[in-house]
Amino acid sequence: MTANTGKLKAWRDGVSAGENCVPLEALERVADGFSDLTINQHVAGCPHCQAELAMLRSFESSRPLTNDEKTVEWIVAHLQSAQDMRFSSVRSPLWRTLLTMPNLAGAAALTLAISLGFSLYVSNRQARPVLQVGPSGIQNMRSGDIRLTAPSGELDRIPEDFHWDPLPLAKSYSVQLLEVDGTVLLSGKSANNVFRASPELESKIQPGKLLLWKVVALDGSGRPIAQSSQIGFRINPKKRR
Amino acid sequence: MGWDSPSDEDLIARYRDETGAGSEQHINELFGRYHAKVARWCLAFTNDRESAADLAQEICAKAYRNLPSFRAESKFSTWLFSIARNHCLNAVRARSGMPAMESAQMMIDELPDLVSENPDTAIVRKEMADIARQLVCESLEETERVVFTLHFAEDVPLDVITRMLNLTNTSGAKAYLVSAKRKLQRAVRIWKAKAQKRLGETNDS
């Protein structure tokens, strides 16, 4: 056992990270195909950096393993759901929590009244705020400005319509259906805040597969003014209509 | 990249510039882009969807917590990879006492011996490591080198290496390791013979 430990140590030392090993930022450039003689020479003679590079490439390429895509989709749905919960808990308004506490409700109301009075007083003494515009002259586009309402989550059947909250300045909307890796499956336009699923779109929706969708609001000249975040949905394979 | 697909760095900049729910949407979108990559990575380590989901969730939570320390010295995906790699390697090491790892001992038994009966006893540990590195680089093919390094330096089990590198041959990483050891045994025999010869010449002179 001791002999084995010594034997393993020699080989382990030989293929472990050394003081000249290059950082991940440099290996990233090698993976991206940039040529740097010094780095390339080191990597060619360093099993550790070669293994790091192989792992980085494996992570980046994200090659699907046989029969694993359903499992990956399940994990992605799990992650998305955990993320939504985290963000919704972050967004949970503090005032709602405070108002459920009896002793704090009165204090909150008083604070609100004082704040309102003060802000009215200040607003009368200041110029009206100006709408911030981007370099092109249109309002800066913000992700998450449009709230998507349906479909989302696990569904019993293929959705007939996609709904979102209307945006007053929008003249039309662009809708995209995407794979979880960001590949656009289909896109379309709508003049209002509803997008009807066409037969072509329905053919793209496979039961059991997680899909994402998002909406971009456009102004009268077709320029983007706001967009939603992406939300996911999946058709339960056993309950497909 | 079009107007509706801001880069990862753009999303992080917007997240840092804004406050409230809007800023969280940017991060939601950013992490959403990498959920599939993280999921596949974790699945390669566990081969079990529940454990992979737990690992993936821990990785995303850790990345989210550490996002303020991201200084854009690398791409966001590379930064996320470093978190995923460390987290999964630690998880694998934590369960290294489990039965699935017993095969590793058998693999060590068959490793060629660089240390005992070494003709040149003056060789110090660092020089021994240099010789080992040289033999690995000169004797092995690229995949053999990577499998050998991941298994013996990073303690990654062979089944994990098989899935991580997407090796599709029948015995996966094990075949590469067996082949690597055979080549290294031959290389060590040659190296020892040369060292013995050099030592003899030195003594004669």
**Boundaries of every domain in chain A:** 2-61, 143-239
Q: Report strand pairing: A172-178 vs A161-164.
A: unpaired
Question: Is there a contact between B145 and A212 if contact means CB atoms under 8 Å apart?
Answer: no
Q: Are A172 and A190 in contact (CB under 8 A)?
A: yes
Could you tell me the residue range of the domain that residue B51 belongs to?
A: 8-94
For A226, the closest chain B residue by CA position comes to B4
Let me know whether B77 and B173 are in one domain. Answer: no
Q: Which of A153-162, A218-227, B105-114, B173-182 has the highest mean pLDDT?
A: B173-182
Which among B52, B74, B164 has the least Cβ separation from residue A25?
B74
CB atoms within 10 A of CB A212: 24
Tokens for B202, please give them.
């030195």
Q: Are residues B200 and B105 in the same domain?
A: yes
Residue B3 lies in a domain: no
Q: In chain B, whose CA is at the least distance from the CA of A215?
A: B4
pLDDT of residue A14: 87
Residue B113 DSSP class: P
Choose one of B57, B72, B94: the last residue of a domain: B94
The last residue of a domain, from among B94, B124, B151: B94
Partners of A173 in beta bridges: A190, A217
- Residue from the list B27, B61, B129 with its beta carbon closest to the beta carbon of A13: B129
Please provide the average confidence, as pLDDT, over all residues in chain B. Answer: 83
**B47 and B139 part of one domain:** no
Chain B residues touching residue A76 (CB < 8 angstroms): 35-36, 39
Using pLDDT thresholds of 50, 70 and 90, give the confidence band for residue B161. Answer: very high
Residue of A22, A68, A75, A141 to mutate when probing chain B, most B C-beta within 10 A: A75
Do the chains contact at A3 and B116, CB–CB below 8 Å? yes
Of the residues B9, B24, B109, the best mutation for testing chain A's interface (the one with the most A CB atoms within 10 Å of its CB) is B24
For residue B153, give how far its alpha carbon lies from the nearest alpha carbon of chain A (Å). 5
By residue count, chain B amounts to 205
A13 vs B205, residue with greater confidence: A13
- Tell me how many residue pairs between chain A and chain B have CB atoms under 8 A apart: 217
pLDDT of residue B195: 80
Residue A211, pLDDT score: 82
Closest approach of chain A CAs to the CA of B205, in angstroms? 31
The angle formed by the CA atoms of residues A191, A196 and A200, to the nearest 5 degrees, is: 120
What's the mean pLDDT in B106-114?
Answer: 62
What's the pLDDT score for residue B121? 53
* CA–CA gap between residue A39 and residue B12 (Å, rounded): 29
Q: B115: distance to nearest CA of chain A, Å?
A: 6
Backbone angles phi, psi at A148, to 5 degrees: -85, 135
Cis (ω within 30 of 0) for the bond into A151?
A: yes
| Residue in B with minimal Cα distance to A230 | B29
Same domain? B115 vs B90: no
Q: How many domains does chain B contain in total?
A: 2
Question: What tokens were used for A193?
Answer: 């805040």
Go through B23-44 and write b for each residue having 16 or more CB atoms within 10 A of its CB, e for each that does not.
Answer: bbbbbbbbbbbbbbbbbbbbbb
Residue A188 has pLDDT above 70, yes or no: yes
Decide if pLDDT at B108 tops 60.
no
Domain boundary among B94, B109, B137: B94
- How close is the nearest chain B Cα to the Cα of A162, in Å? 19
List CB contacts (< 8 A) between A55 and chain B: 81, 85, 150, 164
Q: What's the pLDDT at A112?
A: 52
Residue of B nearest to A71 (CA): B49
CATH code: domain of residue B49: 1.10.1740.10
Length, in residues, of chain A: 241
What does the pLDDT look like over A98-153, one tens digit per residue?
Answer: 444 445 555 555 555 555 444 444 333 333 222 233 333 333 444 456 777 788 77
Same domain, B106 and B198: yes
Closest CA to B45 of B171, B163, B172: B163
Q: Burial letters for A12-48: b for 16+ Cβ neighbours within 10 Å, e otherwise? A: bbbbbebeeebebebbbbbbeeeeeeebeebbeebbb
Mean predicted confidence (pLDDT) in B21-33 = 85
Q: What is the pLDDT of residue A67?
A: 63
Of the CATH numbers 2.40.160.20, 3.30.390.50, 2.60.40.1220, 2.60.40.10, which one belongs to the domain with range A143-239? 2.60.40.1220
Between B195 and A97, whose confidence is greater?
B195
